[in-house]
Structure 1
Amino acid sequence: MKHENPVLPEHDPAGALAQMVADTRYADLPAGVIDLAKRAILDTLAVTIAGSGWEVSPAIADQVAEWGGAPQATVLVHGHRAPAPMAAFANGVMARAIDMGDVHETGGHVTEWNVPAMLSVLGIADGPVSGRDFLTAYITGAEVGVRASAALNLVRYHTTWGMPGEWNGPLCAAASVARILGLNADETWNAMGMAYTVHGMSEYNKYSEGTQMARVQHSFAGDTAVKAALLTRRGVTAPRGIFQGVPSGILRHVAWDDVRPELLTDGLGARWQLAEGLSMKPYSACKFTHSFIASTVAIMQGEGLDWRDIERIDCVGSNSARMTFEPAAAKWNPRSVPEAMFSAPYTIATAAITGGFFLQDLHVDRIMDEELRALMQRVHIIADPAHVDQFEGFSVTIVLTDGRRFTHVTPYVKGHSRNPMDWDDLADKLGRCAPFAAVALPQAKLDRLVALCRAMEEVEDMRDVLTLMTA
């Protein structure tokens, strides 16, 4: 979108989105969307528990404790109290730490953006936040994030220059926090504008350079979401032209010709794009590796193969998946946990050897294992520009030293909306995540957490979650 035909700030589509966030009632939400939301929230709580003890999370939790301040909110799992923005800072990184939170097919993460911030403001809300109110805030804020990605055509540009990245996340978090804190539509719009202004574009170097910012970015987003809502209450103003404003609404800023601003408001309040393509992850790695992993496991286990007999593994992925196998010099030579999480060759070779991919596969000694790295060199991946689904349906062919060949395509990896995780799957995921917590949580609390999420619409005070998420 170019700079012609300017849209006045007061006519920006962000206003309609803010109105949806402020005005939607629980009764307006379809039962299927509510059920998905409850499962997505449990999914994020599970990965937050594991993330609490993973990599950079403990250091950030300790830093928040050192900063101190008013005991308004709970730092999950670790248990200490902090000001609401600082709790959101700590909780945000935990949710993203193991890269196992949900992803929408429009191209961005969702629940790990808003839920940590939402939990961090329960103690400063005007009163107890019911499960129904929490679900409404979650769904409406998530819808903002999903529609922002869809309008930008985000998934198509995962590997191109000028990629704006997951800029939609702070909008998602700010919208949900605004709803929890009771901001009206105009105030919500202002808070979203503040979040947009603070979080800039082209931040995808967090992936390409193998840094910890893929996780820590969520800290800043949660912190900003809370501060944006609170500062809005105090009269601080922010830009309104988030999407089409001149000169730097996001759809103009990227200057692409195929943005779709109509998706921001099409069927708003009746059509829930959130529910049309949300995937929950079975593996603790970039979503673009999951189809490769699933098909590798299907062949190895289905045929009873020994990885030592593999001559080569040939894979075909989407254009967007290139971020996990380009540049080759980096992706075939990961040397850190962040690099391994976003390396298709590493995850494929690991899946062939172990039959899956989880946190035990993400330690430097494992990453540097000579046998695994030798198998990685026998992994070959190309992109098919004609492959429509950017995340799903990738082809894997395993060729053995005796000449036998086995090919498999997983149409939809477990967790996709067309192959969803049910409550038993999520309880199992929680069980796998729990041993990695910074502080061990009693099994009785984990069981109650599952039950609470299943019946969230009956919860009178969502601070019960905070009790279950600390020892």
Structure 2
Amino acid sequence: MTMKSLKPTTPEQDPAGKLAKMVIHTTYDDIPPAVIELAKKAIFDTLSVIIAGSSWEVSPQIVEQVTEWGGAAQSTILVYGNKVPATLAAFANGVMARAIDMGDVHETGGHVTEWNVPAMFAALGLSDKPITGKDFLAAYITASEMSVRVNAAMNGCSHASVGIPGEYNGPLCATASVSRLLGLSVEKTWNALGIAYSVHGMSEMQKYAEGTQMVRVQHSFAGETAIKATLLSRRGVTGPKGIFMGVPGGVYRHLEWDDFDVNVLTDDLGTRWHYAEGLSMKPYSACKYTHSFIASTIELMVQNRLDHRDISSICCVGSEGARMTIEPVDAKWTPKTAGEALFSAPYTIATAAITGDVFLGDFSEREILRADKQELMQKIRVTSGPAITDQFEGFPVEICLRDGRVFRHTTPYVKGHTKNPMTWDDLARKFWKCVPYAAVALPEAKLRKIVELCAGLDEVQDVSDLVDALTP
């Protein structure tokens, strides 16, 4: 249906109210064990990304700036250990979670954990009592479920549209988690969500198209907004209630596409967990749309013992969403910065063919400008279209050699997908691969403590213990 076909609603009828109630009233015991286990993995995975992201690109500058701003020593900047106001800790933590583009992605819900977990760790410094692992998990899971549903309702959304749902929904996800952690009522949580919605308008693709650092820094603003919105609501500041369906300015009132299902927002709340149905964790440091290409390229190169110097062409087909990794053509086939390369299908495919992996070391200026990568990129052809119905998975790859041989492969589900999930051992390997990139070296004993605490997060009595392990 289109939004124009829906009847006007009053602000009090907005689905945001039911979503806020779900976030606040759902107990830990209401959540299925499998969902809790997935959440523990996702939080551990995000902390791995934060550790590596602490030194990446713009993160050090953000930390320097918030430290200069200073203020009350409420919360901890992860990895660095600086004590700053909670809003600024959330600002610094946020960029680190997105810096290396290796956080989880939901099949229909977009980016998830990198939105709320950085702000949640900052919010710990504002709590007047210890936050248990169970409390932390419940706040994370319920807000993540809200976030996924909000995006999943927009089945017709594509990256060719005006905005990306997750980019404006991120602040709402973070705000919901923080509101629950700090004990807000349903009404005040709804207000906090309205405040966050009012601050962050619908996002757009320009920051991706130009390869700017705002792709990462937007998470800083989301975390800061979550803390501010929650604290302001707690003091009685009100926000709009008609966040999604409000007339004239609710989020969904701006949409034009036909494949929209408002019922996804609230149907089976508390019994069906969309969050757990499509959350993927990333084995490669790059845009999720490149992962199917990468996995199939590596499979073909390894299984057939191919040499990249023998390749005459590589042809790939992706989904409509994958267009963001091939347009604009100049930037995608001749990337010059890490920001451009992270979102370049040709660069990541060439890297996979040459090195057998795509990880952080592949995004230095020296690596990006390597002659062999530049040469191979010009032999790569990537198209996208409606023939590929899955958003991220099952993209066919064909490698042709100069001697005339042709090799084809399609990876049904890349490692990390819910149908090909990462084990705790897989996540531990990713964690230790990320550790050398930390801006500040963390003692090995603390690193091992992080692994231990995340695996047993539901038994942790004070999540601040995890913050301590995440600082020198």
Return the TM-score normalized by structure 2.
0.98
SS at structure 1 position matched to 2:153:
helix
- Provide the residue aligned with 2:26 in structure 1: 24
Residue 87 of structure 1 aligns with which residue?
Answer: 89
Structure 1 residue 256, shift from structure 2 partner: 2.9
Q: How many positions carry a matched residue from both structures?
A: 470
What is the letter of the counterpart of residue 73 of structure 1?
S
- Offset of 1:384 from its aligned partner? 3.2
How big is each residue's C-alpha offset from its partner over 1:49-102, in whole Å with a ceiling of 9 and x where there is no partner? 000011100000011110110000000001110000110000000010000000
TM-fit CA distance, 1:163: 4.9
Unmatched runs of 5 consecutive residues or more in structure 2 = none
User: Where do 1:239-318 residues align within 5 Å?
Assistant: 239-318=240-319
Q: Deviations over 1:9-67 (max 9, x none)?
A: 00000000000001010000000000000000000000000000111000000111101
Tell me which residue corresponds to 1:114. Answer: 116
The answer on whether the counterparts of 1:3 and 1:246 sit within 8 Å (CA) in structure 2 is: no
Rate the CA distance shift 1:162–1:358 in 2: closer, same or farther, 3 A. closer
Question: Do the aligned residues in 2 keep the contact of 1:73 with 1:87 (CA within 8 Å)?
Answer: yes
**Are the equivalent residues in 1 in contact too, given 2:162–2:204 (CA < 8 A)?**
no
Q: Distance in 2 between matches of 1:141 and 1:120?
A: 16
SS at match of 1:230: helix
In 2: Cα distance, 1:439 partner to 1:416 partner? 31
In structure 1, the residue matched to 2:101 is 99
Matches within 5 A, 1:3-402: 5-153=7-155, 156-161=157-162, 163=164, 166-402=167-403
List alignment gaps of at least 5 residues for structure 1. Answer: none
Aligned partner letter, 2:464: R
Note closer, same or farther for the CA distance 1:126–1:244 as it changes in structure 2 (3 Å cut): same
Amino acid in the other structure paired with 2:53: G
Write out per-residue CA displacement over residues 289-328 of structure 1, whole angstroms, 9 at most, x where no aligned residue.
0000000000001111111000000101111111101222
Contact 2:162/2:205, CA 8 A, preserved across alignment: no
In 1, Cα distance between equivalents of 2:201 and 2:187:
22
State how far apart, in whole Å, the 2-side matches of 1:164 and 1:137 are: 21
Kept in 2, the 8 Å contact 1:251–1:259? The answer is: no
Aligned residue identity for 2:416: G
Percent identity between the two aligned chains: 63
2:107 corresponds to which letter in structure 1? E
Distance (whole Å) between structure 2 residues aligned to residue 384 and residue 404 of structure 1: 26
Q: In the TM superposition, what is the alpha-carbon distance from 1:330 to its structure 2 partner?
A: 2.1
**Distance in 2 separating the partners of 1:161 and 1:192:** 22
Comparing 365-374 and 169-178, the one that deviates more: 365-374
Measured against aligned partners, the alpha-carbon deviations of 1:152-202 in whole angstroms (never above 9, x if no partner) come to 226x41123455552111111000000000011111111111111111113
Write the distance in 1 (CA, Å) between the matches of 2:232 and 2:449.
36
CA distances 1:376-396 after superposition (whole Å, capped 9, x unpaired): 000011113121111001000
Between the aligned partners of 1:168 and 1:71, the Cα distance in structure 2 is 29
Please give the alpha-carbon distance, in whole angstroms, between the structure 1 residues aligned to 2:109 and 2:372.
34
Task: State the TM-score, normalized to the length of structure 1.
Answer: 0.98
Offset, 1:410: 0.5
Alpha-carbon contact 2:325-2:332 (below 8 Å) kept? yes
- What letter matches 1:141 in structure 2? A
Q: Give the stretch that moved more between structures: 257-266 or 229-238.
A: 257-266
Aligned-partner Cα distance in 1 for 2:154–2:187: 23
What per-residue deviation string (whole Å, max 9, x for no partner) do you get for residues 353-374 of structure 1? 0001001000112111222111
Give yes or no for contact 1:24–1:269 (8 Å, CA) kept in 2. Answer: yes
1:436 corresponds to which residue?
Answer: 437
Read off the aligned partner of 1:5 and give its amino acid letter.
K
